[in-house]
Amino acid sequence: LASVKRQMKKERDVSDTSVDKWRVFRDVGDARTRLGLQDRALAVLNALLSFFPATELSSEKNLIVFPSNAQLSARANGIAGTTLRKCLWMLVEAGIIIRKDSPNGKRYARKGDQGDIEDAYGFSLAPLLARASEFAALAQDVAAEQRRFRVMKDRLTIVRRDVRKLITVGMEEKLAGEWAAAEACFVGIVGRFARRPTLQDIATSLDEMTLLHEDVSRLLETQEEMIKSDGNDIVFRC
C-alpha cells in the first residue's frame, strides 16, 4: 500500500517542465549507491529509456514504455529473465520507474484514430521527470564526497610515508626512544586499513596516523631530553 501511495504521489508531482532523459540517467548512475542500484539495474533503465522515442521527458508526453521482457533483455546485453525481473523490481522500489499493470498483466498501448497513444500499460518514466532535480543533487553530493575521499586518501598516503621514514631513521640510527613501540603502532594502524575503505574509514586512519606522526616527530625533536630521562617522556597514542 505504501509503495502504491508513493507511486501515485510521484505521478502527481510531474510538473510542466521537461528534462533530457540521458542527463537524468547519468545523474541516477552517479548516485546509484545512494539509490541502492546495481550496474545491471542501470543497464535495464538504459534499455527502458531507449524505448522512449523522444530525448526530452515531458509531462505533455505519454511517459509509459511497454517493451516485452524479451525486448528489454535484448537491449540490456542479453540479461537473464530472472535478473531482469529483479532489476525491474529494484528500479520500482527505488522510485525510478512506476509499474502500470494492464488487466491481463501484459504491456501494450492503445492508439486513437489519429495514431496517438491514448492509453498504455508498462513502466512509467514519470519519476525521472518528477525527481530530476533530486537526482542531480544526489549526483553532485556523491561527486563532492568522492573528491573529499581522494583528498583524504592522498593525505593519508603522505602522512603514512613520512611516519615510515621517521621511524626507520630512529631505528637505523639507534636513537634514544621507544622506536619498537612506534613501529608496533605503525603496523597496527596499517593493519586496520579496510580493503575497500569508506570516507569514514579513511578519516579514522588519517587521524590515527596523524597522531603517530606527531608523537614520532616530538620524539625526534627531544632527543637530548629523552636521553636524560631514559626515554620515558613519549607515550604513543595508538
Give yes or no for a contact between 109 and 121, defined as CB atoms under 8 angstroms apart.
yes
Rounded distance between C-alpha atoms, residue 115 and residue 139, angstroms: 38
Indicate whether 58 and 167 sit together in one domain: no
Residue 233 covered by a domain: no
Q: Which of 105, 130, 155 is the last residue of a domain?
A: 130
Instruction: Verify that 27 and 96 share a domain, yes or no.
Output: yes
Q: Would 234 be classed as within a structural domain? A: no
The pLDDT of residue 201? 95
Question: For the chain, how big is the Rg over CA atoms in Å?
Answer: 29
- Residue 1: per-residue pLDDT: 43
Domain of residue 19, residue span: 2-130
Q: What is the CATH number of the domain that holds 39?
A: 1.10.10
In a domain, 135, yes or no: no
Q: What pLDDT, on the 0 to 100 scale, is given for residue 4?
A: 43
Note the pLDDT of residue 3. Answer: 47
Q: Count Cβ atoms within 10 A of the Cβ of residue 237 and give its class: 0-12 exposed, 13-18 middle, 19 or more buried.
A: exposed
Count of domains observed in the chain: 2
Same structural domain for residues 81 and 167? no
Which one of 88, 107, 130 terminates a domain?
130
My answer on whether 97 and 174 are in the same domain is: no
236 domain-assigned: no
Domain co-membership, 193 together with 158:
yes
pLDDT score, position 62: 83
One digit per residue, the tens of pLDDT, for the chain of length 238 reads: 454 455 445 555 555 588 999 999 999 999 999 999 999 999 999 999 999 999 999 887 789 999 989 999 999 989 999 999 999 999 999 999 999 888 777 886 777 656 566 678 889 999 999 999 999 999 999 999 999 999 999 999 999 999 999 999 888 888 877 889 999 999 999 999 999 999 999 999 999 999 999 999 988 887 656 555 554 556 667 6
Domain boundary among 130, 157, 173: 130
Complete DSSP assignment for 125-191: -HHHHHTHHHHHHHHHHHHHHHHHHHHHHHHHHHHHHHHHHHHHHHHHTT-SS-HHHHHHHHHHHHH
Instruction: Indicate if 156 and 213 belong to the same structural domain.
Output: yes
- What confidence score (pLDDT) does residue 13 get? 53
52 domain residue, yes or no: yes
The answer to whether residues 60 and 150 belong to one domain is: no
Question: Are residues 117 and 149 both part of a single domain?
Answer: no
Do 25 and 125 sit in the same domain of this protein? Answer: yes
